[in-house]
Amino acid sequence: MFSKACEYGIKAAIYIAANSNEGKRVSLKGIAKHIDSPEAFTAKILQILARENIVTSVRGINGGFEIESHKLETIFLSDIVKAIDGDNIYKGCGIGLKDCNELHPCPIHDDFKKVRNSLRKLLETTHLKQLALNVHSGTSFLRV
Amino acid sequence: MFSKACEYGIKAAIYIAANSNEGKRVSLKGIAKHIDSPEAFTAKILQILARENIVTSVRGINGGFEIESHKLETIFLSDIVKAIDGDNIYKGCGIGLKDCNELHPCPIHDDFKKVRNSLRKLLETTHLKQLALNVHSGTSFLRV
DNA sequence: TTTAAACAGGATAAATTTATCCGAAATAAA
DNA sequence: TTTATTTCGGATAAATTTATCCTGTTTAAA
Ligand code: FES
Ligand code: FES
């Protein structure tokens, strides 16, 4: 469904959000450990999220990553997915036609569009705060 | 969503089905042309589908690929996807936890599961005949 | 000012996916 | 039997994704 990079990106963002919600900044090392991802590769992904103004990075001692608390409810999963994988997954044709076109539909268009739209809705309406709270309370998990 | 190989596989199967439904056998060359896919790569994918008894291949002059007509309504998209991409897409965790587990859910589990199940239902209830008929009647398309 | 911690980013490597090439085997028709 | 057609399958190559390494820059604390 999502690329590995995107999976790591989503998990990292949720982990950072869960900590930022408590005023804690987290390091790359801590992130990689808690989401069980390769450190250097995760760094690349966090660079993307930083460039897209989804996370804020701070260099130097006591540096790390954080998300400004007022953003926690305005960053949606779709923002992260779009930054890393693009929006083809919830906008493109299921079997690879150049574009998904009502007037020139592929054979699975009608049914696929419904699924794709429900994915789109999920991504576009789920923000980081809800996910972070569940992780913090121990209701959901980021690894294993 | 699906791999390129899987997209080609789905399109090829639908094209073969549309022709088999009329008693016509089609060649690799014809398939690749009509679904707009690389010929040699498509051959590999058709070999997989042949090994999985989804399509029947016939070598030699006037050879090609066909699907036994009694199978047209019992081969589902899920069979094709499973043969090529495996079933992780409609069974696995959305952000890559080892397995999707109710008792140890990831943060997007509850919402994602719904989407994933609707994809699963789509794949498991859509058989080749319905798709083939729409292509044949010009209601849907396999290329461009 | 020095030092250590931490991210940035370029270069490179490994793994996987996508794609091509070619000789072998099968088959029907000439 | 010969020939032309067509799939099979192994080898290889190209492209993309995933992952690692290493040097540089920033920053706070000692
Ligand atoms: S045209 Fe294929 S999903 Fe819309
Ligand atoms: S645990 Fe992630 S989708 Fe179920």
Q: How would DSSP label each residue in B93-108?
A: -TT--SS--TTS--TT
Residue A123 identity (one-letter amino acid): L
pLDDT for the residue B37: 98
What is the rounded distance in angstroms from the CA atom of residue B56 to the CA atom of residue B130? Answer: 20
What's the gap between Cα B94 and its chain centre? 21
Helix intervals (H) in chain A? 4-20, 28-35, 39-51, 77-85, 88-91, 109-125, 128-136
Region for B58 from its dihedrals, namely left if φ exceeds 0, alpha if ψ lies in -120 to 50, beta otherwise = beta
Q: Which residues line ligand 2 (CB under 6 A)?
A: B 93-95, 97, 100-101, 105-106, 109, 112-113
What's the gap between Cα B32 and its chain centre? 15
Q: Supply the pTM of this predicted model.
A: 0.96
pLDDT for the residue A97: 97
Query: What distance, in Å, lies between the first and last C-alpha atoms of chain B?
Result: 19
What's the gap between Cα B112 and its chain centre? 23
Region A84-103: mean pLDDT is 96
At A76, is the pLDDT very low, low, confident or very high (cuts 50, 70, 90)?
A: very high
Which class is domain A4-137? mainly alpha
What's the gap between Cα B92 and its chain centre? 19
Q: How far is the CA of A41 from the centre of ligand 1 (A)?
A: 33
If DSSP codes are grouped into helix, strand and coil, which group holds residue B144? coil
Which residue reads 């044709």 in tokens? A93
Q: How far is the CA of A82 from the centre of ligand 2 (A)?
A: 20
Q: How far is the CA of B57 from the centre of ligand 1 (A)?
A: 29
- Residues lower than pLDDT 50 in chain B: none
Asked whether the beta carbons of residue B97 and residue A126 sit closer than 8 angstroms, the reply is: no
**How close does chain B come to A130, measured CA to CA in Å?**
9
Q: Establish how many alpha carbons lie within 13 A of residue A43's alpha carbon, considering only the half-sphere containing its beta carbon.
A: 8
Look at ligand 1, atom 2, and give the residue with the nearest C-alpha: A93
At A65, is the pLDDT very low, low, confident or very high (cuts 50, 70, 90)?
A: very high
Residue of B11, B106, B134 best to disrupt the A interface, most CBs of A under 10 A = B106
What residue in A sits closest to B109 (Cα-Cα)?
A140
* Among the partner residues A95, A96, A134, nearest to B107 by beta-carbon distance: A134
Write out chain A residues lying below 8 Å of B133, CB-based: none
pLDDT for the residue B36: 98
Identify the CA nearest to A65 among candidates A50, A77, A52.
A50
Contacts of B70 (CB under 8 A, 6+ apart): none
Region for B26 from its dihedrals, namely left if φ exceeds 0, alpha if ψ lies in -120 to 50, beta otherwise = beta
B44 CA vs D5 C1’ separation (Å): 19
What is the rounded distance in angstroms from the CA atom of residue B129 to the CA atom of residue B121? Answer: 17
Task: Give the angle subtended at the CA of A137 by the CAs of A135 and A143, to the nearest 5°.
Answer: 30
Is there a contact between A13 and A81 (Cβ–Cβ < 8 Å)?
no
What is the rounded distance in angstroms from the CA atom of residue A43 to the CA atom of residue A57? Answer: 11
* Among the partner residues A115, A119, A141, nearest to B106 by beta-carbon distance: A141
* Among the partner residues A1, A118, A142, nearest to B1 by beta-carbon distance: A1
pLDDT for the residue A122: 98
pLDDT for the residue A87: 95
